[in-house]
Amino acid sequence: MSALFTRTALACMVALSACVAAGAVQAKAKPRKHSKVVPDKAPDVVIYGQREDVMRFAAEAAARRELDVDATRAALAQAKYIPSVARLIMPPPAGTAKNWGAYRSRFVEPVRLKAGAAFWSANEAWLRLAEERYGVPPEIIVGIVGVETIYGQQMGSFRIIDALATLSFDFPAGRKDRSAFFRDELENYLLLCRQQGVDPLSWRGSYAGAIGMPQFMPSSILAHAVDFDGDGHIDLHNNPADVIGSVAHFLSNHGWQRGMPTRYDVSVPVDTAQRALLLAPDILPSFTPQEFAGHGAVLDESGKAHPGKLALVELQNGDAAPTYVAGTENFYAITRYNWSSYYALAVISLGEAIKRQRPPLASEPVPAPALPASAPMAADPVAAVPAQSPASAPEPAASAAPASLPASGVAPMPPAEPASR
């Protein structure tokens, strides 16, 4: 990651960390004359229990979410400021060229292809059940879990409470302030831990507070995660069935339409004004195939017959010619998971590549997974948990928070941020 930051940006972040750390220490320490700064390798530590504003937040959050106030204060009192979290949330340096080819090659690669094939084979019955229930095909779910965490291999090592507290109370300057979003996620996290009987200090995940194999933010777990194998618990860290069901349920809740392709091939209009007109709504499907044709875009045969609206999606390739696809509502649904057209096409490409290398379908159907008799799956047990207020969305342009933010180990090549908006 560090290669993505300019020296200046890094210097600013280090200075900021030092300021924040120093601020907390100054409150207690008496000024010393001529004290020397002795360089060491120990991190500057801010324990949020020393911060009045954080303890006030704890009391208010407990009241808002009907949590035990002492337990909430005790948990947040042990949260720590993590300088690397503040660094990792920063966008790539200005002028970093987006490059779909390079981005794709990070995800459609041998390690993920092999792990994806194994994940698919091991969980085929759950993937089929998810498709049956939510209409989301296996390759999309397999693509998402592969891009997010390589099927659980890279789920992030930050304590969730530290990551969320850092971004809630010390969101770095130099980019759009999203601390309100992270404070809401922190509250959701505390609520989630209470609901699941989990110690808030115990869970680890990405620098942005994303959790488990699918890297769900806490609000997404509350709103969309399901106990897909019906064992009475939602486990997104270790239980592939729950992961598969939850990813499918998330997409279903965000407009996924059964049987609809994600995108079609398209040749863009030669006329730059016509092209700009089609690109203007970005990833939001806004034009019928007839309107595409009217503006000079040429869809493939299946695209011409598409019953709904399409988006002309442009993916840059550095100095080379951009890649274009005509995205459907299902392409758009994947961008609700992570607000980036590059992310969506990487998910689709990885899933399709894994599907292509799988052996031909056997004629014998895979038996349905055995479910505990005590926990029938007639309903989605967790889907009943209401989604958080749309006001919690980090960006006003969107109606819901993304399920995840890039995991610490995997994503943020440019574009770490939603590339399309």
Please give the positions annotated as active site: 148
User: What DSSP letter does each residue of 324-393 carry, written as one string?
Assistant: EEEE-HHHHHHHHHSS-HHHHHHHHHHHHHHHHHSPPPPSSPPPPPP--TTS--SS-TTTTSPPPPGGG-
x/- track of binding to Ca ion for residues 218-247 (CB under 5 A): ---------x-x-x-x--------x-----
CB 152 within 8 A of CB 213: yes
DSSP annotation of 399 reads: S
Q: Which residue is nearest to Ca ion (CB)?
A: 227
For the bound state, the minimum distance from the C-beta of residue 131 to Ca ion, rounded and expressed in Å, comes to 18
CB nearer Ca ion, residue 109 or residue 231:
231
CB nearer Ca ion, residue 16 or residue 377:
377
CB nearer Ca ion, residue 148 or residue 242:
242
For the bound state, the minimum distance from the C-beta of residue 196 to Ca ion, rounded and expressed in Å, comes to 11
Size of the residue set binding Ca ion (CB under 5 A): 5
For the bound state, the minimum distance from the C-beta of residue 351 to Ca ion, rounded and expressed in Å, comes to 23
In whole angstroms, give the CA distance from residue 403 to residue 321: 31
CB 395 within 8 A of CB 197: no
CB 107 within 8 A of CB 146: yes
CB nearer Ca ion, residue 244 or residue 346:
244
DSSP annotation of 117 reads: H
- What is the SS3 assignment for 39? coil
The residues, any chain, with a CB within 8 Å of residue 265's CB and separated by 6 or more, are: 299, 300, 303, 325, 326
Tokens read off for 41: 């390798």
x/- track of binding to Ca ion for residues 178-217 (CB under 5 A): ----------------------------------------
CB nearer Ca ion, residue 162 or residue 242:
242
Type of residue at 359: P
Give first-to-last CA distance, the chain, whole Å.
Answer: 24
- What is the SS3 assignment for 147? helix
CB nearer Ca ion, residue 226 or residue 334:
226
For the bound state, the minimum distance from the C-beta of residue 239 to Ca ion, rounded and expressed in Å, comes to 5
Tokens read off for 107: 């995800």
CB nearer Ca ion, residue 87 or residue 224:
224
For the bound state, the minimum distance from the C-beta of residue 152 to Ca ion, rounded and expressed in Å, comes to 15
In whole angstroms, give the CA distance from residue 22 to residue 167: 18
Distances in whole angstroms, Cα of residue 21 to Cα of each of 16, 39, 137: 8, 15, 48
| 170 part of the interface to Ca ion, by CB under 5 A | no
In whole angstroms, give the CA distance from residue 118 to residue 113: 9
For the bound state, the minimum distance from the C-beta of residue 375 to Ca ion, rounded and expressed in Å, comes to 8
Torsion of CA 408, 192, 17, 58, to 10 degrees: 180
For the bound state, the minimum distance from the C-beta of residue 209 to Ca ion, rounded and expressed in Å, comes to 22
Residue 308 parent element (H or E): none
Residues of the shown chain interacting with Ca ion in the complex, contacts defined by CB under 5 A: 227, 229, 231, 233, 242
